[in-house]
Structure 1
Amino acid sequence: MINQDLVTNTESELRVRYNDITRGVYFIGTTPPKTNTPLDEVETIADRLVNRIKDLAIDGLIVYDIQDEVSRTKKPRPFPFKSTHDPRYYSSLLNKKTGRPVITYKSVVQSETDAFDEWLNEAWHEYQVRDIVLVGSPSAKNEVSLPLSAAYQALAENKNNFFTGGIMIAERHAKKGNEHERLIEKYQQGCNFFISQAIYDTQATIDILTRYAIECKQDGIKPQRILLTFSPCGSAKTLEFIEWLGVSVPEATSLRILNATNPLHESIKMCCNSLNQILDAVVEYDLPLGLNIESLTNRKEEIDGSILLYKLLRASMDSHLAKHEFRMLQKNTITAL
């Protein structure tokens, strides 16, 4: 049963879990309800989510900070943007209802340093937020009040001991070839884990993970935990939204989903295949990995599909880790002889 008591630890529970590379870490991603949703209905929505995940062995949840992001692309937004309730509030609510850690996203683009420091103090003391991910500008063309690097510096100087993560964008690596350098730089700025965008371009993800693992080994740096994000797609509209968000979807993948008798089933199958390909490709690098499963829409079938996808992908990840541990045991036994 899910514990209904509030987690009031002064430190992040995730620190210890993230250090054990022999096990995966598993999350469900969600967004706060829209601002015009009454608070009693927010409670109902949270209860509905908790009921969906009550039988899942999750390490925690992730609550996104939704921004309009119109500057990132000239294409019209497939779904109209609507502001949401404060992610800190919704994180606190889910933490109370599940007893699980909740990673809270924070977009720092429009923040000033003093306001950001106040946000951090409120997050820690008023909302019991312990785990955060900072998000920078979606476009280099934006006028930014607080650059991401300055936000990391402000976070390092803040008196509260947050467990901090960053974003990994395989698509950016495919274009610029330097995402591995960004990950290492973010680690040096205080990031201890990374969360990918939704994965539909398997090879792009394999490329960045491989380059990152090799670069860390060459530099004598411990690779940080990377959560691989997967999201089911049940319609052409959802696929359009996925691409609008900047997720790379190869043409063949798009055609397979759109021309399938059951697009949602096809996308879930493709996500499963994608994870297996990624795990096979990076098995020799001892990268600590995890999963984040989300639904990008509020359509019931896609939300239910994300729960099924979680079960399938977790089984694959657990099997991969067990086989890797077995190989290491065999290797160590032979070395000892």
Structure 2
Amino acid sequence: MNNGSELKARYNDYNRGVYFIGTTPPKDDTPIEQVDEIAEKLLERVSDIDVDGFIVYDIQDEASRTNTPRPFPFKSTQDPRLYSYILNKKSTRPVIAYKSVGQSSVEDFHRWADEAYKDYNIRDLVLVGSPSRDHEVSLSLNDAYQALKENEHNFFTGGITIAERHASKGNEHQRLIEKNEQGCNFFISQAIYNPQATIDKLTRYAIECKKSGLKPQRIILTFSPCGSEKTLEFIEWLGVSVPEATSLRILNAENPLYESIRICSNSLQQILDAVIPYNLPLGLNIESLTNRKEEIDGSILLYKLLRSMMDYYLVKNELKVLGRS
């Protein structure tokens, strides 16, 4: 079982990427033996690809974030800690568990963290704040980071980063620096369908870190295949920026899923062309936003494509650096 140091060691090697498969826990009415089977199926699907670990999301309703109806009805899930524990035990790979903190008190959060560490062997966490300013919050994200710092257990902590927020406010790079000061050692993006917004954010972050003499933290880029109009609606409902031309390309393609995979591949290429020269430590997280078999299989294909591309760019950059030394 991992003790957290495994991910830390990988994150500190700037010459390599880190690669994850993102997943959601089964629905909360799923019998425990079936949860076990679902974990087995996931591990079977990824058995022929080399993954560094898994990311398990903490799914919230998020109805307060937008007036647009949710394309897929919200269903609560099993405790992400339990599913993380099962995946970690079966795969012996690190698992990053998400925790939505808005509805916890400080005491509840400490109890949750103690149980996560002792009972579920969780070492790697990403904290998520309220989906909306209008949402009633018991525990702010800042207070949760502080509570985690004070907690007796040594978690390896990350945060989320949203390029769309940078596009509208222009300050996401500053948020990354502040969150690092609060204890975040890595960041996971939401799904990318607008590469320019991500390029702007990462470029600004890299330059700001260099100017301030700061070590940039690893950014894990998330990509999700899209095989139907309904999935595209859901991607946009989640707040992901999808340019009009990109939507039209997917919806009018003979095979929308493969068109979306081509788009994701092209997006990563644009991002790497722009930011690799800044020597930012990067990673990938590939997820399927639905349980449709076609999209799950598509996410495995997307993983293979994007991982090989990122590995190639990183090796090429390392050779350039060696050539200059």
What do residues 206-256 of structure 1 show as CA deviations (whole Å, max 9, x unaligned)? 010001101111111100000000000000000000000000000000000
1:86 maps to which residue? 79
Q: CA separation of 1:308/1:157 partners in 2, compared to 1, >3 Å: closer, same or farther?
A: same
Is the counterpart of residue 166 in structure 1 residue 167 in structure 2? no
TM-score, normalised on structure 1? 0.96
Is the counterpart of residue 240 in structure 1 residue 223 in structure 2? no
Is the Cα contact below 8 Å between 1:12 and 1:131 reproduced in 2? no
Partner residue of 1:25 out of 3, 18, 24: 18
**Whole-angstrom CA distance in 1 between matches of 2:40 and 2:147:** 35
**Whole-angstrom CA distance in 2 between matches of 1:13 and 1:93:** 18
Partner residue of 2:173 out of 172, 180, 183: 180
**Whole-angstrom CA distance in 1 between matches of 2:63 and 2:142:** 22
Partner residue of 2:220 out of 227, 236, 247: 227
Tell me by how many angstroms 1:12 deviates. 3.3
Tell me by how many angstroms 1:35 deviates. 0.4
1:15 maps to which residue? 8
What do residues 3-33 of structure 1 show as CA deviations (whole Å, max 9, x unaligned)? xxxx153x43100100000000000000000
What do residues 144-184 of structure 1 show as CA deviations (whole Å, max 9, x unaligned)? 10000000000000010000000000000101111111110
SS at 2:86's partner residue?
helix
SS at 1:227's partner residue?
strand
Q: What stretches of structure 1 of length at least 5 have no aligned partner?
A: 1-6, 333-337
Q: Which runs of 4+ in 1 moved over 3 A?
A: none
**Whole-angstrom CA distance in 1 between matches of 2:135 and 2:204:** 29
2:265 maps to which residue? 272
1:335 maps to which residue? none
What do residues 100-145 of structure 1 show as CA deviations (whole Å, max 9, x unaligned)? 0000000001010000000000000000000000000111122210
**Whole-angstrom CA distance in 2 between matches of 1:8 and 1:286:** 28
Partner residue of 2:290 out of 297, 307, 310: 297
**Whole-angstrom CA distance in 2 between matches of 1:300 and 1:64:** 19
Is the counterpart of residue 326 in structure 1 residue 315 in structure 2? no
**Whole-angstrom CA distance in 1 between matches of 2:252 and 2:267:** 19
Tell me by how many angstroms 1:40 deviates. 1.0
Which residue identity lines up with residue 203 of structure 1 in the other structure? Answer: Q
What do residues 45-89 of structure 1 show as CA deviations (whole Å, max 9, x unaligned)? 111001001111111000000000001100000000000000000
Q: What stretches of structure 2 of length at least 5 have no aligned partner?
A: none
**Whole-angstrom CA distance in 2 between matches of 1:102 and 1:55:** 18
**Whole-angstrom CA distance in 2 between matches of 1:72 and 1:274:** 27
**Whole-angstrom CA distance in 1 between matches of 2:219 and 2:276:** 14
Is the Cα contact below 8 Å between 2:189 and 2:219 reproduced in 1? yes
Q: How many residues align?
A: 325
1:43 maps to which residue? 36
SS at 1:293's partner residue?
strand
**Whole-angstrom CA distance in 2 between matches of 1:283 and 1:303:** 29
Is the counterpart of residue 197 in structure 1 residue 190 in structure 2? yes
Is the counterpart of residue 257 in structure 1 residue 250 in structure 2? yes
Which residue identity lines up with residue 13 of structure 2 in the other structure? Answer: D
SS at 2:5's partner residue?
coil
TM-score, normalised on structure 2? 0.99
Q: CA separation of 1:180/1:8 partners in 2, compared to 1, >3 Å: closer, same or farther?
A: closer
- Deviates further, 150-159 or 137-146: 137-146
SS at 1:13's partner residue?
helix
1:105 maps to which residue? 98
RMSD over aligned Cα, in angstroms?
0.6
